[in-house]
């Protein structure tokens, strides 16, 4: 009977061993090696974890139920966070980066989505054990939660290492307060806890590597793949068991084999093989999780879809900024009174400007009536809370049930375009547009859209009894805000049933246009000391910190702070200051103006980042960018375009964490990184971009990225000419316009002509001037194609010699060269092949854009 019992027990042990091997929880050690103190410590950790999970279940929180619940908007960006110990998963990370993620990115792109992998320790040679790294990793997981409905796409790779366990001293207080850090846990397990375990995340997958691979790895490399300390082994064994119990269908064991020890990376590295099964499992899981979270319904994205997305994005921005408003109670009530009545006795009423003959907003271009309403202008400097006030006004007006149109400039990438603003406004005024009129509204011409707006306003005046409230925030930030026709599309007054509120910085071109005609004007005044104190208190509360009332009063009185941005920046400086006892001295050393404070902050940030200068690079590149940096390409932009080496993600995450108060990401169809306030941009320009050499350096880096590393031809064609021109790289700009088919396909003729003019010789070449000559084409070149660009299909004789546009009959102009360039192209030499054109030659042409104004009398050569 005893023998039968032993046989049954042995069989049971064999079955258990098989089960452990299948789940990846196999172990080469028993519980005997773990003393009572170790077991007690591990139990203490898991007791706290279970308590946190119970609290989470009883008080569920979901980032998707706040602002995002007020719109049906779905994210088109998929963030995948990869978590593991570092030195033992080099091979798996290689497979993810080079095989799995490229396939998933292509698959997501077909679904109209972008996939962004968050692998913070990729590219870092050793585990990093700083408190800053802890916060960076957990912050990135939190970002993934916010983007993907509170359930991030989370991949955890588990081998035979538990990972680095920071001491109490190494664990930052913020990690305990904000993320519920559990003492005794490894940073890798805290990632698991934050990204998956507490919320029982259905989008998390755990890939357990079979420990049998250790049998083939040389003994000298075992320390990279296996924990030696018994406590770490016990933690790992318990973690695997708990994960298997909580996620029975989300644990995927896999096997691989040792191949060799390689030095191809510059250091000895263990190479593993047979990882195809691993790659297939990761790909299959992520595709299923993405499809489940964002069900795909194939359809053609119409202009209406894009407009709806734009509206949703701006609404989310308004909701978020409205929460930041502190104080300004009187101003808010006055503005609400204007929204109700279309007038205000509490605001200044400006008179018409004196120089009526020079008006851009000409009354004769509009059908105006005596009963029309004047515009209300909210004016305030950058950082004074103007946008927060406007957003609060927008949100409150929408919730009151009024019919509202709002446009917040710089809240999305498209919001800076006048065409986008006008197109949406016309459709709001005419919600029942027929198909023909909708096609007209899709025009990209401001002039055409202005005509439609005129008709729409007249129709709304006569046919609608419903009051419409129009809000436009940030008129000074619209694209081309420095041209003569800036705001020419804005009516002098609006119909009696439309009330319009706009806002602007004291930007001379914008204010000059706004006050051409009588308007109601509100200028933001300095905030009260009570409101400024409330700004500081609210900000510090988010970090569970509090400033002594005497110190807060000293801060306000000493610096003379008068606006919320200034107060927020000082409060952030005090928050990160290490010695609480020296706060008084720190306050005494703060500058008494915002500009000097920003310069001081920039110096501190750059000095603290002297290791790799990522912060300075990001600041300068953002300042030199056209409308911000695309966030999904930030690692490439901040990397090395010449060698095509991306910046290590951890370096970027660290820099982003430090710069978070001064940068913001906006947009949906394309996330763009830009400055949070204009004041930060001006500080970077005045302090870091102090010479032409410095400016051209950063524009050249951006030009290199867009020309040699950007995969989207539209994006390249939009940004590259701007940066080549700004970097004064004339030859590269001309080569791009003449030799790259993307430039011809994705840049409209007017823009091509504009860039060509800026590199054109400005000497006169009139026929009456001695030594000038006609620019000629030989017969063969004149009848050929693609002489001015590979994508140009017109005969060369019908193409503009500068921009390559089609020259239409009588509107074209014969091209000539000045006396300086006549040595090269004179004497009837062909401009394309330089052979003598002869009597059968044809004069080259200029299109009407390049020949406009004095263009017909100017040399048609490039000035290189």
Whether residue 721 contacts residue 733, with contact meaning beta carbons closer than 8 Å, is answered with yes
Q: Which residue has the tokens 């308004």?
A: 318
Distances (CA, A) of 121 to 105, 227, 264, 418, 649: 20, 19, 19, 42, 7
| pLDDT at position 610 | 62
CA distance 210 to 23: 9
Flag whether pLDDT at 55 surpasses 90: no
DSSP 155-220: EEEE-B-------TTTS-HHHHHHH---TT--HHHHHHIIIIITTT-TTEEEEEEPGGGGGTS-GG
3-class DSSP state of 541: helix
- The two tokens of residue 542 are 């988010």
Q: Residue 604 region, left (φ>0) first, then alpha (ψ -120 to 50), else beta?
A: alpha
Flag whether pLDDT at 30 surpasses 60: no
Pairing of strands 468-473, 498-504: parallel
Average pLDDT over residues 615-628: 93
Q: Where are the beta strands (DSSP E) in 524-617?
A: none
- State the DSSP H helix or E strand holding residue 471, giving kind and residue range, or none if neither: strand 468-473
CA distance 372 to 144: 49
| pLDDT at position 416 | 85
CA distance 720 to 700: 10
pLDDT in tens, 153-200: 999 999 999 988 888 888 888 888 888 899 889 989 999 999 999 989
Whole-prediction pTM = 0.70
Average pLDDT score over the chain? 85
How many other C-beta atoms are found inside a 10 Å radius of the C-beta of residue 6?
9
The ranges assigned to domains in the chain are 22-293, 303-523, 529-592, 601-754, 760-864
Q: At what angle do helices 614-624 and 594-608 cross, to 10 degrees?
A: 130
Q: List residues bridging with 773 in a β-sheet.
A: 817
Distances (CA, A) of 160 to 126, 157, 224, 229, 775: 17, 10, 9, 11, 75
Which of 688, 668, 675, 662 lies closest to 625 in space, CA to CA?
675
- The two tokens of residue 699 are 């524009």
What are residue 438's phi and psi, to 5 degrees? -65, -40
Flag whether pLDDT at 6 surpasses 60: no
CATH architecture of the domain 303-523 equals: 3-Layer(aba) Sandwich (3.40)
| pLDDT at position 26 | 52
For the chain, percent of residues with pLDDT exceeding 90: 47
| pLDDT at position 267 | 74
For the chain, percent of residues with pLDDT exceeding 70: 88
- Higher-confidence residue of 310 and 325: namely 325
What lies within 8 Å, CB to CB, of 249 at 6+ separation is none
pLDDT band for position 748 (50/70/90)? Answer: confident
Which of 214, 207, 206 lies closest to 270 in space, CA to CA?
214
Flag whether pLDDT at 377 surpasses 60: yes
| pLDDT at position 572 | 86
Which range, 300-304, 531-535, 631-635, has the best average confidence (pLDDT)? 531-535
How many other C-beta atoms are found inside a 10 Å radius of the C-beta of residue 729?
20
Distances (CA, A) of 106 to 63, 114, 658: 28, 9, 32
CA distance 605 to 611: 12
CA distance 428 to 490: 16
pLDDT in tens, 506-530: 999 999 999 999 999 999 999 999 9
| pLDDT at position 522 | 96
CA distance 809 to 620: 47
| Cα 671 to chain centroid, rounded | 4
> CB pairs under 8 A, 24+ apart, for 419-425?
419/443, 419/444, 419/445, 419/446, 419/449, 420/310, 421/472, 421/478, 422/446, 422/449, 422/450, 422/452, 422/453, 422/489, 423/307, 423/449, 424/307, 424/310, 424/311, 425/453, 425/456, 425/470
Distances (CA, A) of 152 to 77, 143, 191, 201, 635: 11, 9, 12, 8, 21
DSSP 8-state assignment for residue 374:
P
| pLDDT at position 22 | 46
> CB pairs under 8 A, 24+ apart, for 332-338?
332/389, 332/392, 332/393, 332/396, 334/522, 335/376, 335/378, 335/389, 335/393, 335/501, 335/522, 336/393, 336/396, 336/397, 338/376, 338/499, 338/501, 338/520
3-class DSSP state of 95: helix
Ranking 138-152, 213-227, 399-413, 464-478 by mean pLDDT, the lowest is 138-152
Which of 90, 426, 25, 407 lies closest to 244 in space, CA to CA?
25
pLDDT band for position 150 (50/70/90)? Answer: confident
DSSP 809-839: GGG-EE-EE-TTTHHHHTTTBBTTT-SB--T
DSSP 49-83: HHHHHHHHHHS---GGGSGGGGS-----EEEEEEE
pLDDT in tens, 353-376: 887 778 889 898 899 999 999 999
pLDDT band for position 554 (50/70/90)? Answer: very high
- State the DSSP H helix or E strand holding residue 399, giving kind and residue range, or none if neither: helix 386-399
DSSP 8-state assignment for residue 100:
I
Flag whether pLDDT at 208 surpasses 90: yes
CA distance 143 to 406: 28
pLDDT in tens, 682-714: 999 999 999 999 999 999 999 999 999 998 899
Average pLDDT over residues 761-765: 92
- The two tokens of residue 559 are 């610096």
Q: At what angle do helices 678-687 and 614-624 cross, to 10 degrees?
A: 110
Percent helix, strand, coil in the chain (nearest 5)? 50, 15, 35
Flag whether pLDDT at 474 surpasses 90: yes
CA distance 754 to 814: 19
Average pLDDT over residues 44-63: 78
3-class DSSP state of 499: strand
């Amino acid at each position: 009977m005893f023998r039968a019992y032993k046989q049954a027990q042995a069989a049971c042990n064999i079955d258990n061993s098989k089960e452990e091997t299948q789940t990846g929880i196999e172990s080469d050690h028993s519980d005997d090696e773990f003393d009572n103190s170790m077991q007690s410590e591990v139990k203490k950790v898991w007791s706290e974890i279970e308590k946190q999970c119970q609290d989470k279940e009883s008080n569920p929180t979901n980032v998707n139920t706040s602002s995002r619940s007020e719109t049906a908007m779905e994210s088109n960006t998929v963030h995948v966070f990869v978590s593991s110990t570092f030195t033992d998963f080099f091979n798996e990370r290689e497979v993810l980066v080079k095989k799995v993620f490229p396939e998933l990115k292509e698959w997501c792109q077909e679904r109209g989505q972008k996939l962004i992998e968050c692998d913070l320790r990729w590219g870092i040679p050793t585990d990093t054990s700083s408190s800053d790294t802890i916060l960076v990793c957990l912050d990135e997981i939190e970002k993934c939660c916010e983007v993907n409905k509170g359930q991030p796409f989370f991949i955890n790779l588990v081998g035979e290492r538990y990972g680095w366990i920071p001491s109490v001293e190494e664990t930052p207080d913020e990690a305990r307060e904000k993320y519920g850090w559990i003492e005794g846990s490894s940073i890798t397990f805290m990632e698991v806890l934050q990204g998956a375990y507490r919320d029982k995340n259905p989008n998390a997958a755990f890939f357990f590597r079979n420990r049998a691979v250790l049998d083939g790895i040389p003994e000298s490399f075992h320390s990279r793949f296996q924990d030696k300390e018994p406590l770490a082994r016990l933690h790992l064994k318990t973690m695997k068991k708990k994960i298997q119990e909580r996620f029975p269908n989300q644990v995927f064991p896999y096997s691989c084999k040792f191949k060799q020890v390689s030095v191809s990376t510059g250091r000895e590295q263990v190479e593993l093989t047979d990882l195809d099964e691993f790659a297939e499992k990761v790909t299959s899981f992520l595709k299923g999780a993405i499809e489940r979270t964002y069900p795909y319904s194939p359809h053609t994205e119409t202009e209406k879809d894009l407009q709806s997305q734009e509206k949703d994005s701006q609404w989310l921005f308004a909701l978020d900024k409205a929460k930041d408003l502190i104080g300004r109670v009187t101003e808010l009530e006055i503005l609400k009174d204007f929204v109700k009545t279309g007038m205000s006795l509490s605001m200044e009423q400006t008179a018409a400007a004196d120089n009526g003959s020079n008006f851009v907003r000409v009354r004769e271009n509009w059908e105006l009536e005596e009963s029309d309403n004047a515009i209300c202008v909210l004016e305030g400097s950058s950082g004074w809370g103007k946008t927060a006030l406007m957003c609060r006004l927008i949100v409150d007006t929408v919730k009151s049930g009024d019919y509202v149109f709002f446009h917040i400039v710089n809240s999305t990438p498209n919001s800076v375009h006048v065409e986008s603003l006008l197109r949406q406004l016309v459709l709001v005024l005419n919600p029942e547009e027929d198909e023909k009129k909708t096609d007209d509204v899709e025009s990209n011409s401001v002039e055409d859209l202005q005509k439609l707006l005129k008709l729409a306003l007249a129709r709304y005046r006569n046919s609608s009894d419903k009051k419409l409230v129009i809000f436009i925030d940030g008129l000074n930030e619209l694209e081309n805000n420095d041209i003569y026709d800036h705001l020419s599309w804005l009516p002098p007054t609006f119909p009696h049933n439309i009330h319009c509120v706009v806002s602007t910085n004291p930007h001379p071109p914008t204010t000059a246009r706004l006050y051409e005609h009588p308007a109601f004007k509100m200028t933001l005044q300095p905030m009260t000391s009570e409101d400024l104190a409330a700004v500081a208190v609210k900000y510090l509360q988010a970090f569970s910190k509090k400033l002594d009332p005497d110190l807060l009063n000293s801060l306000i009185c000493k610096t003379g702070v008068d606006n919320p941005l200034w107060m927020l920046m000082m409060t952030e400086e005090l928050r990160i200051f290490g010695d609480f006892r020296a706060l008084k001295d720190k306050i005494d050393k703060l500058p008494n103006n915002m500009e000097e404070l920003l310069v001081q902050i920039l110096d501190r940030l750059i000095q603290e980042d002297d290791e790799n200068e990522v912060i300075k690079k990001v600041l300068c590149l953002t300042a030199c960018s056209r409308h911000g940096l695309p966030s999904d390409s930030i690692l490439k932009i901040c990397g090395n375009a010449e060698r095509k080496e991306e910046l290590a993600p951890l370096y970027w995450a660290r820099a982003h964490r430090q710069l978070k108060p001064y940068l913001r990401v906006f947009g949906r169809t394309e996330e763009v990184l830009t400055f949070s306030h204009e004041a930060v941009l001006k500080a970077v320009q005045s302090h870091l971009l102090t010479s032409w050499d410095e400016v051209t350096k950063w524009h050249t880096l951006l030009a290199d990225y867009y020309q040699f590393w950007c995969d989207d031809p539209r994006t390249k064609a939009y940004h590259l000419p701007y940066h080549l021109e700004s970097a004064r790289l004339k030859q590269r700009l001309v080569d791009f316009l003449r030799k790259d088919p993307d430039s011809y396909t994705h840049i409209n003729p007017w823009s091509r002509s504009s860039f060509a003019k800026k590199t054109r010789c400005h000497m006169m070449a009139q026929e009456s001037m001695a030594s000038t000559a006609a620019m000629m084409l030989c017969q063969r070149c004149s009848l050929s194609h693609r002489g001015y660009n590979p994508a140009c299909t017109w005969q060369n004789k019908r193409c503009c010699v500068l921009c390559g546009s089609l020259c239409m009959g009588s509107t074209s102009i014969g091209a000539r060269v000045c006396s300086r360039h006549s040595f090269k192209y004179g004497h009837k030499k062909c401009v394309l092949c330089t052979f003598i054109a002869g009597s059968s030659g044809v004069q080259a042409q200029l299109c009407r854009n390049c020949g406009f104004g004095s263009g017909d009398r100017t040399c048609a050569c490039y000035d290189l």
